[in-house]
Amino acid sequence: MKEVAAAQSEMENRNSPRRLQETNLVREPAFAAWIVSLCPDASIVARHRGAALEAMVHYAFDRLRFSQFFALESAWERFIAGPDASPVSL
């Protein structure tokens, strides 16, 4: 099973050169920002909101291709609209 996963990972890296960059440089800060936005303690969110937003605007959203975009979008909505805002309908 481990060999299959390793082979698949190598193939994905060849087919998607940006995958490694996004995985290594975007994933952790993106999901950290999202986790901060989910915190029920408003004082903790307020304390870290500026740093999280600063990290989030660092990325070129139009160039992201993988699941990190989900975390960034979700955190952005919570930071900008607030945790009690109703979801945006499309």
Range picked from 32-36, 55-59, 78-82 for highest mean pLDDT? 32-36
The model's pTM is 0.69
H-run or E-run covering 85: none
Does residue 90 carry a pLDDT above 80?
A: no
| Token output for 72 | 């960034």
Q: Which of 53, 1, 60, 76 is nearest to 25 (CA)?
A: 60
pLDDT (average), residues 61-89 = 75
Binned at pLDDT 50, 70 and 90, residue 85 comes out as: low
Q: What is the pLDDT of residue 83?
A: 60
Q: Which region, left, alpha or beta, applies to residue 85 given φ > 0 means left and ψ of -120 to 50 means alpha?
A: beta
| Total residue length of the chain | 90
